[in-house]
Each structure stands twice: as structure tokens, then as C-alpha cells.
Structure 1
Amino acid sequence: METIVKLQNVNKVYKGITKATQALRDCSLEIQPSSFTSIIGKSGCGKSTLLNAIGGLIEVDSGSICVKGTELTTLSRGERAAFRRNHIGFIFQFFNLLQELTVMENLMIPFDLNRQQVDQEFMNGVLQYLELQDILKKFPYELSGGEQQRVSIARAIIRKPSIILADEPTGNLDRKNAKQVVSLLRECQRLYSQTIIMVTHDMDLAKKADTMLYMEDGQVMSYETT
């Protein structure tokens, strides 16, 4: 079966002053295109490190990371950055919006960095679906947590990336907004055929994905189809 993300025996060690921490330990997994996968596990089990490795944000010590047919471990830092800009969208727990820029200016940052033209029709559809049309001129500090997270989701979607990586996207939201965010991610998968990979501590939200991966001690220990 075709895969869009495949890791084989990936290891990552963070070296501290007094000790080393192995965040990924012979970690292997496969993810299918246009699927919604949640990654769960206790704090410190390697969930965020795994997501960062898939996104090419970090270098690993050994193993293979193949994303959309590209072996990330053979790329330079600049090549990985270019790959991210072209193929991957990120949604972060803390939104990562620039407070001094308006919502629209925040949304345009990825296009400016990549010198990419905006598909205005597609963008307008996303903004309408996420109910952002009326707040485009506002600044992030004027928005609620739920509104800021919808902006960060729009920023990830509108470039039409093949893969969206969401690291605890509901961690700072109340229950109502958390459920809405996961529903929005599910709709992105359905409407735009995007592959969603979400790290979460919330089992109820994790079960809304097609597949749950359980991590322990830097390894994917089990898969569960929901």
C-alpha cells in the first residue's frame, strides 16, 4: 500500500550537560495519504520529537525518514526548509502568530517567504469555512484563543500542503473550541485530501482520527483504527 510518510529505525538523542536523553528509539511507522492520524502517549515519550522529525525541523542520529518519496535525512538544512515550505503545514499549540501583524498579514507570511502566488479563490473558500472574513484586519491580541487557532489552521491550509502536522493544537483551548478545531482538521482532510498528523494528550479527541498511534519510550508501540 502507498505511504506518504515512512520512518524506519529512527533514533534521536538530545545530549545535555550531565546526561543524554533518547527521544526516539528505533522508531518506525507508516502513514497513508489523505489519512488522519493521532499520536498519543505520556509526556516525554517522544511525540513532539517524532512530529518535528517528520517535518524536517530536526536532524536525527540514524534511520530513514521518507516523506512524499523524499529521504529527508539526505537533505541539507536549507533543502529541508524548502521541502517544508512546499509540502508541509504546521499548527502549533501556542498559535505562533506575530502580534504586531494583522490576521491577513500573518496569513500571507508563508507566501512571502516562498515567493508563492495566492490562489485567491481557494483562500477565500478556506476563510469562509473557518469564519475568518470579518477579523482579517484585527491583530492576534484582539482575538480569542479559538479564533487565533482558526487563523493558525488557515495559515497551514491555504498553501495547499500535502501534510499538516499539528502539535497539541487544542492544548490551550476550552473543550468546546478543542472539539471544533479537531472537526476542522477532519474537514480539511475530507475537503482538501490533506494528510493530518496530530499529537494530543486528549484520548477523546485522538479517537476522532482514522488511526491512533500509541508511543512509549521513543517508539510507536501500537496502532489502533478508530
Structure 2
Amino acid sequence: MQHEANLHKGLHGGHVRIAAFRSVATHLLPKAIAQFHNQFPEIAVTIIECPAFTDVEQCLRDGRTDIGITCLPTGEEFDTWEIFQDEYLALLPPHTKISNPEITWEDIAAYPPVLLPCTPCGRILHNHLKTLAIPINTASDIQEDSTVVSMVNQGLRAAIMPRLAAVPIPPNVQVYSLPAPLKRIIATAILSNSLHVPAVFTFLEMLKNFDFYSLAKSTFV
């Protein structure tokens, strides 16, 4: 009966193209795609991995992808649905000594320059630091998230980055929430008033209802 219903909906075959930046493509999408494949094995799903969420949005504009995973806020040309909130963390070298139970901006600033994301998501963090923190000497000159984490693990720098971008975090790296917490809001996006085959809208509905928070908890262990 389910097979016949899928045929009626036009879900017999088809192709869904989804663009996402690296941390989402690595840690969140594969499990969701596997669940979708179990239900609709004849629909192909392709991931287009992009360096940053601005590249994801350009893929949507260019018609190279059907669905994008981006960060809010975004332009009015897109319809978006929040699927996950990703916390920014302070990562400190293994032998850092913190005198207070909770980390302070001064603790973070003791390791200049503090590495920040060089992707557009970093703008959210820069604005947050300007508003709420003491002046901190920062740098955004390293492209790869794994390189940033490795620098921290070797005691060379501190860093502030989204949790999804940081994992897997070496066990000796000290991990703290920011003194003033901050999260980036991750959302699915499609072009407003866009026309898609039924397979695309079915995959979009699955993404909107998928429990990414439970998946993230298992990823962060």
C-alpha cells in the first residue's frame, strides 16, 4: 500500500540535491539521508558541500541545488525553517588554569590572538564580542576547523567556534560555554515560490521534522 501511495505522489525515483556547509554535511545530514533512503530507496539524494553558508545560498540562486542548509538571518528571497541551534564554545589549551568556576572574557583573552571562524558565520560572533566582551585580540586567518582545534590542543591558541565545527574535540582541550552564550541558528532554505518535484518537498518535510538535537547529542559524546 505504501509503495502504491508513493507512486501516486510521484515518489517512484527522482533526485534531490541538497547544499550544506561542511559541519552540517559531516555531522547532521548523513543520518537524515539514511532515514529518508530507508523509506524512499528509489530517490537519489546528493550532497553539495560548500565552504560557507553564503555559497549554499548562491547554489540555490543558480539552480544548482533544490534545498540548502544555511544560517539565519538570510535574505527575503528564501523560505526558511529552523532545524537546529549550534552553540559557540570557547576552546582553551589543555593546561589552562581557570581560577573561577565559570570562564570569563579575561580567561579567553589571555591567549592572543584568539582564533575565530573565518566563514560568514564568524560575523555573528564578531558582532557579539563587540557588544558584550572586553577587547580581545582575535584572528580569522585559518580556514580549516580541524586546524584550529589542533592549534588549541597543542597549547598555541585559544579559539571560539561553533560546536559542530569543533567536533571531534580532543579530550584534553578545555571546553566552555561563552560568558555570554551565543548560538547560530541553522535552517533549511528553498527559493521562495520555487517549483520542485514531489521528492524534493518530501525530503524537505523530513528535514523539518527530523530530531537533529538527539543526533547532535550522540555526535558530541
TM-score (norm 2): 0.29
Structure number with larger C-alpha Rg: 2
TM-score (norm 1): 0.28
